[in-house]
C-alpha cells in the first residue's frame, strides 16, 4: 500500500510546480453510464488518485498558491444515510480530515462558494485538466474572470508519474504475480477449452480470486487469424486445433497495472512454422530488453527492433530484398505495425510524456516502467507469404523496470520459452 506520507510528498512536489498567484483544481472521476440507469464499475481518475489516493466520486482537490505558501483542500461528498443505504458507505468530511494530511476538508456542496473566494483578483493563473468535460470547465471559468492564464495541470502530474517509487513498484510486482498465475493456468488448461471466452473466464477468475480489483484492460484472447487484429477483444470464436492463441491480459491491483502478452498453442505443441516465427519474435524481445538502461532512447529500441525483425523476415523468406532498402521503404511495417512498447503504471498505457516541454525525446531513467512487445502478424489471406506462415500472429510482451545500471524484468517469472509453454500445457 502507498502511505499518506507519499501522497503528501506528491502534493507538495505538484504545488512547487505551480506559479505563485494560482489555483489548481482536480476533480474525481464520475460514474460512467453503461445503459439507461446502470453504470460501469467505478474507477477513480488516475491523476486525482496519484495526488491523494481518495477513491470516491464527487470529490475535488484544490491548491491555492499565493505569494508565500500553498493551501491544499479536499472536497468530499457528505455522509447521508439514505444515499449510503443505496450506494454504500462514504468516508465523509470528518473521517477524511483524520486520514489525509491537508489544510482542510470540506463538503463537496461547498465547492462552488469556495471556488468563488479562491479565484479572487489576486489569482492570475488557473490550472485544471484540459480533458475535463465542458460542465466542469464552465464551473471553473464562471469565477475566473480576472484570470490571465489557463494551464494544464495534467501535464505536470503526468511528468511526475514517469518515475515510480518503491511502493508503486511493489504494487506492480503484486499485479504481475497475480497475472503470472492466470497465464500459467491458461497454458495448463488450453487443451481442454473450446472457445476463446472460456480462456478469458480463466483469467478473470484468477484475477478476482487473488484480490485484483479488475483486469487492467479488456483481455485479448485471439486464436488463429484473430491474432492479426491488434485490438481483438470479441473473444468469441471456437479455438481450432494446432492454432496459436495470442493472449494479451493483465490485472490491476490497487490501481496499478500489469500488461503481459504470451502466445501459446491450442494443441500444446508448436508446429515447425510456428516455432520459426515465435523464435524470431522471442529473440528480438530478449535483445531489446537487454538494451534497456538509463539514458537510452525509446526510439533507439524501436529502431533496433525493426532492424532485427526485418532481418528475420528476410531470413525466413517472408520479405525479399536488402534489409536497409526494405527498412527505408517500411516494408516490415506490414508485419510489425506498432511501437516496441509504452509506459505503464496507474494506467496500462501510462499517461506520461514521451517528450519534454521543448519537444525533445525523454531518455530512460531509473524508476521508469515500460513494456517491451515486439510482434509479427501475417494475415491468412496474404498470398505473398508461404502458406505455412499464413494466419500466424505472435506477440511477446514483458514489463521492464529501468534500474540504476540496466533493467529488471518484472515479469520474468511468466514463462515464454517454447519448451516451458509446451511443458505447462502437457502437465
- In Å, how far are 202, 207, 239, 244, 427 from 198, measured between CA atoms? 7, 14, 10, 16, 19
Q: Determine the Cα–Cα distance for residues 374 and 303; give it in Å rounded to an integer.
A: 12
Q: Where are the beta strands (DSSP E) in 44-192?
A: 60-65, 70-76, 104-107, 125-128, 149-152
The four Cα atoms 295, 298, 300, 305 give a dihedral, to 10 degrees, of: 140
Which residue in this structure is represented by grid cell 516465427?
A: 277
Task: Determine the distance from the C-alpha atom of residue 347 to the mean position of all C-alpha atoms in its chain, rounded to a whole number.
Answer: 3
* DSSP letter string, 71-97: EEEEEEPPP-HHHHHHH----HHHHHH
3-state DSSP assignment of residue 392: coil
Neighbours of 63 (CB within 10 A): 23
Residue 24 bridge partners (DSSP): 63, 127
Annotate 258-316 with three-state secondary structure.
Answer: CCCEEEEECCCCCCHHHHHHHHHHHHHHHHHHHHCCCCCCHHHHHHHHHHHHHHHHHHC
C-alpha cell at 364: 530512460
Active site residue ranges: 37, 231, 248, 259, 338, 342, 349, 373, 377, 395, 397
Amino acid at each position: 500500500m502507498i502511505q499518506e506520507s507519499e501522497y503528501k510528498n506528491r502534493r507538495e512536489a505538484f504545488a512547487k510546480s505551480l506559479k505563485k498567484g494560482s489555483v489548481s483544481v482536480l476533480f474525481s472521476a464520475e460514474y460512467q453510464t453503461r445503459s439507461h440507469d446502470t453504470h460501469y464499475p467505478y474507477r477513480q481518475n488516475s491523476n486525482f488518485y496519484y495526488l491523494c489516493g481518495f477513491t470516491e466520486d464527487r470529490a475535488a482537490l484544490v491548491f491555492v498558491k499565493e505569494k508565500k505558501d500553498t493551501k491544499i483542500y479536499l472536497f468530499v461528498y457528505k455522509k447521508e444515510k439514505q444515499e449510503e443505504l443505496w450506494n454504500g458507505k462514504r468516508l465523509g468530511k470528518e473521517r477524511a480530515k483524520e486520514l489525509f494530511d491537508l489544510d482542510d476538508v470540506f463538503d463537496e456542496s461547498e465547492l462552488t462558494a469556495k471556488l468563488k473566494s479562491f479565484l479572487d483578483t489576486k489569482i492570475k493563473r488557473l490550472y485544471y485538466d484540459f480533458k475535463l468535460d465542458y460542465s466542469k470547465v464552465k464551473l471553473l471559468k464562471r469565477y475566473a474572470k480576472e484570470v490571465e492564464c489557463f494551464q494544464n495541470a495534467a501535464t505536470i502530474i503526468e511528468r511526475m508519474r514517469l518515475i515510480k517509487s518503491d511502493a508503486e513498484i511493489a504494487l506492480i510486482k503484486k499485479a504481475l504475480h497475480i497475472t503470472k498465475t492466470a497465464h500459467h493456468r491458461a497454458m495448463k488448461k488450453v487443451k481442454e477449452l473450446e472457445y476463446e471466452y472460456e480462456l478469458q473466464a480463466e483469467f478473470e477468475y484468477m484475477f478476482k480470486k487473488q484480490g485484483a480489483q479488475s483486469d487492467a484492460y479488456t483481455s485479448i484472447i485471439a486464436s488463429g487469424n484473430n491474432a492479426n487484429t491488434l485490438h481483438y477483444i470479441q473473444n468469441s470464436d471456437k479455438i481450432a486445433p494446432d492454432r496459436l492463441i495470442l493472449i494479451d491480459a493483465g490485472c490491476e491491483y490497487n490501481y496499478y497495472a500489469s500488461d503481459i502478452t504470451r502466445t501459446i498453442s491450442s494443441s500444446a505443441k508448436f508446429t515447425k512454422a510456428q516455432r520459426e516465427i515465435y523464435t524470431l519474435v522471442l529473440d528480438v524481445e530478449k535483445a531489446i530488453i537487454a538494451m534497456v538502461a538509463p539514458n537510452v532512447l525509446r526510439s533507439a529500441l524501436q529502431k533496433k527492433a525493426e532492424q532485427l525483425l526485418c532481418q528475420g523476415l528476410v531470413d525466413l523468406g517472408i520479405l525479399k530484398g536488402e534489409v536497409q532498402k526494405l527498412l527505408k521503404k517500411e516494408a516490415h511495417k506490414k508485419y510489425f505495425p506498432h511501437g516496441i512498447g509504452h509506459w505503464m503504471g496507474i494506467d496500462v498505457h501510462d499517461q506520461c510524456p514521451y517528450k519534454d516541454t521543448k519537444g525533445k525525446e525523454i531518455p530512460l531513467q531509473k524508476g521508469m516502467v515500460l513494456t517491451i512487445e515486439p510482434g509479427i502478424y501475417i494475415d491468412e489471406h496474404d498470398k505473398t507469404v508461404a502458406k505455412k506462415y499464413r494466419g500466424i500472429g505472435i506477440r511477446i510482451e514483458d514489463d521492464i523496470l529501468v534500474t540504476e545500471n540496466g533493467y529488471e524484468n518484472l515479469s520474468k517469472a511468466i514463462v515464454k520459452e517454447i519448451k516451458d509453454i509446451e511443458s505447462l500445457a502437457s502437465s
